[in-house]
């Protein structure tokens, strides 16, 4: 390996600096100041050489797991998709506002794909005919597009982004579920190799479809999702579908609160009844609930067409009950499982104004409107949990665990789609003992690559700059000569690292900072860019021919002989 071309930062466009450092600088600002990327338009970014190196490494790592662990073949689908396909599956109507759409000169409708289920299903459906050609696993790494209403947090929520998609096709449900589990194992291995503490959480399938899905979350304070996990077992779920055990208040003397919502057709007023507080001691509540504690996703599981973003439903309801739609109007009272007595008894005991099934602000029409009370299904209904889960709630999966709630950012998502797309797009295969083609069982599995860059930067950045896991750092090691006369020595140290440490340390890639800049400037730049290992040829080099090695993530700074670098790099590589 000796004699290999030396990587030099003087040959890399690295436009660092040039920006004032804000008092509270976030990781996105550090990515810009360190020269990893620049914003082009709102939610759209240019990736510069250092950022491109990080992205290339992430893509290579993921591609290796897709091919070696899952036997997937790589494809590259067009970024343009036909609107007719999306209308066939019904998704065009559901998410049209998030799509970049246009028509060609022949007035044929297209869109910039935010995902490729329709296109890949159409392709495979026209090509694969027999169950003997399955299972089939196809993946791609490509740019996607979504017309975000409010792009924010840099790469974490943009309008153009890079994703890895894996699409799987099986001939039976059993085979499809086996594939799904293999993908979950591969995802766990990917994030483990990057040394990221990712939580695999049960999740809602949403507009994607299917009945099984998991999200892969990196806990971050600025994350837009909330993930619930148990401190005793492997239970983890997105807050939207997370469960807990709603402990019924033991006292009948309970104070209630009510949150009111309305359905999209304005025909149903929804009253959500919940206790004023919990853990009452000496007549005072240790925890008081507010309307912000209402889990609207749980309410939507009872009322699917609930409008969740309206704060004041009563004015809309007043119009509905006084207009032509009065005959179709009704009231639905949903009761949280913590309320121990019949609703009518609880309201009679409740404190505060406006606590009635019929709002005090309105005049009761004649005849009275239908009123329903929902506490769960069946003769012995499971108590409803209509409040957001909080720290310390009981785990629904094990008897000893309590729940932890964390903000997190989603890095990946796996879906078992079933026949959600294969059926409407007629993608089927012939199987034994069947005269007709059977729709293929599908899965879709994504990882947000550009989002991962922003999330990892946010997860590991400190006051000095970025920090990268060694597996995806733009360069794992930077060698900084103290002055121009040391550049030849730096090149020799570079060659020694490649020769002696490469195989042991996972082919650690090193670069020499030979730019015509001062040593302090280079050191500041190295910290800002987040190179995991810094090797300095400074005063100690001139005096004893030893180098100073720094690793900020491990809090490591030591003077070493060049021959001792190999075992050190092996240790650092295993830790980072």
DSSP collapsed to 3 states, 136-177: EEEEEEEEEECCCCCCECHHHECCEEEEEEEEEEECCHHHHH
Query: Lowest mean pLDDT: which of 322-336, 399-413, 553-567?
Result: 322-336
Among 117-131, 431-445, 502-516, the least confident range: 502-516
Residues 529-540 have pLDDT tens digits of 999 999 999 999
User: 423: which strand partners?
Assistant: none
Checking if the pLDDT of 196 tops 80, the result is yes
Q: How far apart are CA 227 and CA 404, in angstroms?
A: 8
Which ranges constitute the DSSP H helices of 34-72? 49-70
Question: What pLDDT is stored for residue 460 in this prediction?
Answer: 96
In this structure, are residues 438 and 428 in contact, taking their beta carbons and an 8 Å threshold?
yes
Task: Answer yes or no: is 566 within a domain.
Answer: yes
pLDDT at 253: 57
Q: Is residue 568 part of a domain?
A: yes
186 touches 150 (CB < 8 A):
no
Residue 501 confidence class, pLDDT cut points 50, 70, 90: low
Question: In 10 A of CB 564, how many CB atoms?
Answer: 14
1 pLDDT above the threshold of 50: no
pLDDT at 9 over 80: yes
Assess contact for 201 and 236: CB atoms under 8 A.
Answer: yes
Check whether 450 has a pLDDT greater than 80: yes
Q: Using CA atoms, how far apart are residues 76 and 165, in angstroms rounded to an integer?
A: 10
If you search the block for the tokens 């297209």, which residue do you land on?
A: 110
Predicted local confidence at residue 485, as pLDDT = 77
Q: 417, 438, 456: which is the final residue of a domain? A: 456
Between vectors from CA 454 to CA 451 and to CA 460, what angle results, nearest 5°? 135
| Higher-confidence position of 509 and 211 | 509
Same domain, 443 and 470: no
| DSSP calls for 474-519 | S-SEEEEESSGGGHHHHHHHHHHIIIIITTTTTS--EEE---SS-H
Compute the half-sphere exposure of residue 557: CA atoms within 13 Å on the CB side of its CA: 3
Instruction: Let me know if residue 321 belongs to a domain.
Output: yes
Structural domain total, the chain:
3
Is the pLDDT at 251 greater than 80? The verdict is no
Please check whether residue 318 is in contact with residue 358, taking contact to mean a CB–CB distance below 8 angstroms.
no
pLDDT value, residue 247? 66
The mean pLDDT value of the chain amounts to 88
% of the chain surpassing 90 pLDDT: 60
Same domain, 432 and 485: no
280-291 burial code (b ≥16 CB/10 A, e <16): beeeeeeeebee
For residue 94, pLDDT beyond 50? yes
**Phi, psi dihedrals of residue 412, rounded to the nearest 5°:** -155, 165
The percent of residues above 70 in pLDDT, for the chain, comes to 91
> Please, which residues have CB within 8 angstroms of residue 474's CB and are 6 or more apart in sequence?
36, 50, 51, 53, 54, 57, 468, 529, 531
Token look-up 């996972």 returns 506
Mark whether 528 and 571 lie in a shared domain.
yes
CA distance 505 to 67: 23
Q: What is the pLDDT of residue 248?
A: 63
Q: Which H or E run includes 543?
A: helix 539-544
- Answer yes or no: do 452 and 482 share one domain: no
Separation CA 419–CA 456 (nearest Å): 35
Does residue 398 belong to any structural domain of this protein?
no
Domain assignment of residue 484, yes or no = yes
What lies within 8 Å, CB to CB, of 449 at 6+ separation is 55, 58, 59, 62, 141, 161, 162, 163, 164
Q: What are the two backbone dihedrals, phi and then psi, of residue 189, each rounded to the nearest 5 degrees?
A: -70, -35
Dihedrals phi, psi of 347, to nearest 5 degrees: -70, -35
The answer to pTM > 0.85 is yes
Confidence of residue 2 (pLDDT cuts 50, 70, 90): very low
CA distance 106 to 241: 45
Q: What are the angstrom distances between the C-alpha of 275 and each of 98, 343, 395, 455?
A: 38, 11, 21, 38
> DSSP 3-state helix, strand, coil percentages of the chain (rounded to 5)?
30, 30, 40
- Cα separation, 501 vs 499, in Å, equals 6
User: Would residue 249 count as lying in a domain?
Assistant: no
Name the helix (H) or strand (E) containing 316: helix 314-322
Residue in this structure with the two tokens 């749980």, named with its chain if needed: 298
Residue 463 tokens, joined: 């006051």
Instruction: Tell me how long the chain is.
Output: 576
Q: Are 143 and 78 in contact (CB under 8 A)?
A: no
Whether residue 231 is contained in a domain is answered as no
Instruction: Say if residue 350's pLDDT is above 80.
Output: no
pLDDT confidence bin for 453, thresholds 50/70/90:
very high
Please check whether residues 341 and 441 belong to one and the same domain.
no
pLDDT at 339: 82
What pLDDT shows up at residue 506?
47
Kindly calculate the radius of gyration of the chain based on its CA atoms and give it in whole angstroms.
29
Q: What is the pLDDT of residue 321?
A: 79
* Nearest one of 293, 301, 299, 259 to 405, comparing CA atoms: 293
Distance CA 565, CA 561 (A): 7
- Distance (Å, rounded) from C-alpha 331 to C-alpha 355? 14
Contact 402, 394 (CB under 8 A): yes
User: Which of 422, 456, 490 marks a domain boundary?
Assistant: 456
Question: pLDDT of 372-398, one tens digit each?
Answer: 888 877 667 777 888 888 888 889 899
Burial class of residue 407, CB neighbours in 10 A (0-12, 13-18, 19+)? middle
- Whether 61 and 208 share a structural domain: yes
Q: Let me know whether 485 and 338 are in one domain.
A: no
- Alpha-carbon span 393 to 533, nearest angstrom: 42
Q: Are strands 80-82 and 100-103 parallel, antiparallel or unpaired?
A: unpaired
Same domain for 442 and 478? Answer: no
Looking at the structure, do residues 483 and 351 belong to the same domain, yes or no?
A: no
Domain that holds residue 316: 256-374
pLDDT at 505: 46
Residues 350 and 412 in one domain: no
Domain boundary among 318, 350, 374: 374
CATH of residue 534's domain is 3.40.50.800
Both 171 and 192 in a single domain? yes
Instruction: Indicate whether 449 and 475 sit together in one domain.
Output: no
In a domain, 400, yes or no: no
């Amino acid at each position: 390996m000796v004699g290999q071309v030396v990587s030099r930062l003087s040959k890399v466009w690295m436009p660092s600096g040039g920006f004032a450092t804000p008092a509270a600088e976030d990781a996105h600002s550090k990515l810009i100041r360190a020269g990893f990327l620049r914003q082009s338009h709102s939610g759209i970014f240019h990736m510069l050489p250092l950022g491109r190196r990080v992205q290339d490494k992430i893509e290579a790592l993921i591609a290796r797991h897709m091919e070696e662990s899952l036997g997937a073949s790589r494809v590259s689908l067009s970024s343009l998709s036909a609107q007719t396909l999306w209308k066939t599956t019904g998704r065009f109507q559901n998410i049209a506002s998030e799509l970049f759409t246009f028509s060609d000169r022949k007035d044929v409708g297209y869109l910039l794909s935010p995902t490729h289920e329709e296109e890949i299903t159409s392709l495979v459906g026209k090509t694969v005919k027999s169950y003997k050609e399955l299972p089939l696993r196809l993946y791609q790494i490509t740019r996607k597009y979504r017309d975000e209403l409010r792009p924010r947090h840099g790469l974490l929520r943009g309008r153009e982004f890079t994703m890895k998609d894996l699409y799987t096709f099986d001939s039976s449900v059993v085979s499809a579920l086996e594939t799904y589990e293999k993908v979950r194992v591969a995802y766990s291995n990917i994030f483990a190799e990057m040394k990221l503490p990712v939580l695999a959480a049960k999740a809602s399938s949403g507009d994607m479809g299917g009945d099984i899905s998991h999200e892969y979350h990196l806990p971050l304070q600025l994350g837009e999702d909330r993930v619930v996990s148990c401190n005793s077992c492997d239970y983890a779920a997105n807050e939207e579908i997370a469960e807990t055990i709603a402990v019924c208040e033991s006292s009948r003397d309970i104070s209630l609160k009510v949150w009111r919502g309305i359905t999209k057709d304005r025909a149903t007023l929804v009253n959500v009844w919940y206790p004023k507080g919990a853990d009452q001691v000496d007549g005072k509540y240790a925890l008081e609930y507010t309307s912000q504690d209402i889990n609207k996703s749980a309410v939507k599981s009872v009322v699917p067409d609930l409008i969740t973003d309206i704060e004041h439903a009563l004015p809309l309801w007043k119009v509905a009950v006084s207009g032509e739609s009065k005959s179709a109007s009704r009231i639905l009272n949903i009761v949280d499982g913590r309320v121990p007595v019949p609703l009518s008894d609880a309201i009679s005991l409740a404190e505060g104004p406006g606590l009635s099934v019929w709002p005090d602000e309105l005049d009761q029409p004649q005849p009275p409107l239908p009123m329903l009370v929902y506490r769960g299904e069946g003769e012995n209904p499971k108590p409803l949990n209509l409040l957001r889960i909080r720290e310390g709630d009981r785990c629904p999966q094990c008897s000893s665990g309590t729940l932890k709630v964390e903000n997190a950012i989603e890095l990946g998502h796996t879906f078992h789609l079933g026949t959600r797309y294969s059926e409407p797009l007629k993608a089927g295969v012939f199987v034994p003992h069947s005269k007709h083609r059977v729709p293929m069982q599908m899965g879709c599995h994504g990882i947000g690559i550009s989002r991962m860059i922003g999330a990892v930067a946010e997860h590991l950045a400190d006051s000095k700059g970025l920090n990268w896991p060694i597996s995806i750092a733009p360069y794992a090691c930077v060698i900084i000569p103290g002055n121009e006369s040391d550049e030849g020595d730096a090149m020799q140290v570079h060659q020694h690292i490649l020769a002696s440490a490469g195989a042991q340390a996972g082919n650690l890639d090193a670069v020499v900072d030979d730019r015509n800049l001062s040593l302090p400037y280079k050191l500041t730049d190295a910290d800002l860019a987040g190179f995991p290992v810094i090797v300095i040829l400074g005063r100690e080099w001139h005096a004893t021919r030893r180098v100073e090695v720094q690793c900020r993530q491990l809090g490591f700074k030591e003077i070493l002989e060049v021959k001792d670098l190999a075992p050190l790099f092996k240790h650092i590589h295993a830790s980072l």
